[in-house]
Amino acid sequence: MRRKLGILCVSLLGVLQAFGQANPVTYAPAPGTYPSAQLVTLSTTTSGTIIFYTTDGSTPDISSTQYTGPINVTSSMTIKAIAAVVGVNQKNAQNNNPSSGGTFWKPVDCASYPAWSSTTTYAVGDQVSNGGTNYTASASSTNKSPASNPSIWAVWAPCATANNPGGAGVATATTHTSGNASPSLSGASMKFAETAALNQQTNVLWTVHSSFGACDGCTQFLETHDYYWPSSGNSSANEDDSFMFDNTDQIRYMAGMQYCFSAGGCPGGASGWDYGGNSNVPWTFSGVTAGATRDTWHHLQRLITRVLGEVSTKPCTAAGSWPYVYFNYLRIDGVTFNNGGPGWKFCANALPTGWSSVASMQAQIDISSHSTTTSSTVYWDNIGYLATYPPSTLTAATYAIGGGTIGPPVHMSGTAKISGSAKIQ
């Protein structure tokens, strides 16, 4: 069950206007046959973009390697690349494996930002409040006012806030606390906890968002985090969602997910991950059961996309007429699940009146009726996300080192795969 988002504890920067599609990626030196290794530079003429590329023959998406500098081509290979204008960016969203370090967001309570102090030395990732605005540090500093130093302080700071409980009753206790040293990976996990009274069925959700979350023109949202379910938990389901709320078109694109523990009482008659869960799509078993081991950290990553043109064409008619939500894949502990290749797709639904534009996540704990007071807890850590506007057409360039023949770069539309891009021997 979902409730209206509570008042954001941080100010939105306004709805970002949709950008046009980024221009295709170009390659220097030109693809061809070279007698020795080459440093290949990728570029696009569209400003504000990130380039994503692969060298293993797969089609890149926004979870692929980010281009940060010339690629050292020491043997024959095909580079495939796309470019996309960034709407919402958080480092390490591309991390595909369980976290072992790096710069992620360490979630905090929306009401707990400390006031900036001129005498405190701040590190990258520190979050403060100054003059009614929340900031995240992008560089270390001392006595550098956030309002006067935009190169050091970014005007956004993600946080988590609890929303009203639902179900058949009001939970007797709900908490969310940040900075939990144990269990954690970063030393600062976020704890979500719920307690239900005797014979009470209820659920509580927590919205995990940022003040820089509006991205109505975005078409892709990549989200990653680590989660931990203690063995003491007695929930019937733990919900874990990604969403893009489009206030301009009043549409909710939500990749709802829940891990149902009730076996025969779950969709499909088995415990595991279900998808859907909005007013147009009942919970549907995905066939995925990975990531259920308790008392251990699991790494989750998922990509959802949408097609802007479907706002007018509304091709999904299973529940009225709506655009599709394309749930491209779910990746748990480095293993990708994508429903045999295409992922899952289902109808979007209406954005309730008064909801804000945002690309973000939410956690929810569902507790069914028990004969005793029942509690359950979930921990999150190391959160990253990336939302982008429509990507460029795909390009590919093949480099033969030490011999072979070569053709010009191949330009493809959309996200179709390139055939016949085998390495040149």
Residue 94 has a pLDDT of: 64
Q: Where are the domains of the chain?
A: 26-85+391-412, 121-154, 159-388
56-74 residue pLDDT tens: 989 999 989 989 999 999 9
- pLDDT, tens digit, for every residue of 376-392? 999 998 888 888 899 99
Please tell me the distance from the alpha carbon of residue 366 to that of residue 320, in angstroms, as a whole number.
28
Looking at residue 355, its pLDDT comes to 76
Q: Which residues contact 285 (CB under 8 A, 6 or more apart)?
A: 266, 267, 268, 269, 270, 272, 273, 274
Comparing 300 with 114, the larger pLDDT belongs to: 300
Q: CA dist 105 to 100, 135, 330, 334, Å? A: 14, 13, 20, 20
CATH architecture of 159-388: Sandwich (2.60)
Q: What is the mean pLDDT of the chain?
A: 82
Of 85-99, 174-188, 202-216, 325-339, which has the strongest mean pLDDT?
325-339
Strand locations in 61-184, DSSP E?
65-66, 71-73, 77-89, 121-122, 127-130, 133-137, 141-142, 153-154, 159-162, 166-167, 173-180
Confidence of residue 296 (pLDDT cuts 50, 70, 90): very high
Share of the chain above pLDDT 70, in %: 81
Q: Which residue has the higher pLDDT, 278 or 44?
A: 44
pLDDT at residue 172 is higher than 70: yes
H or E stretch covering 148: none
Minimum mean pLDDT among 52-61, 80-89, 119-128, 399-408: which range? 399-408
- Does residue 249 surpass a pLDDT of 50? yes
Round the CA-based radius of gyration of the chain to a whole number and report it: 23
pLDDT value, residue 386: 85
What pLDDT was estimated at residue 262?
87
Q: Per-residue pLDDT for 288 more than 80?
A: yes
Count CB atoms within 10 A of the CB of residue 304: 26
Q: If phi over 0 gives left and psi between -120 and 50 gives alpha, with beta otherwise, what is residue 179?
A: left
Environment class of residue 132 by beta-carbon count within 10 Å: exposed (0-12), middle (13-18) or buried (19+)?
A: exposed
Tell me the β-bridge partners of 395: 81, 411
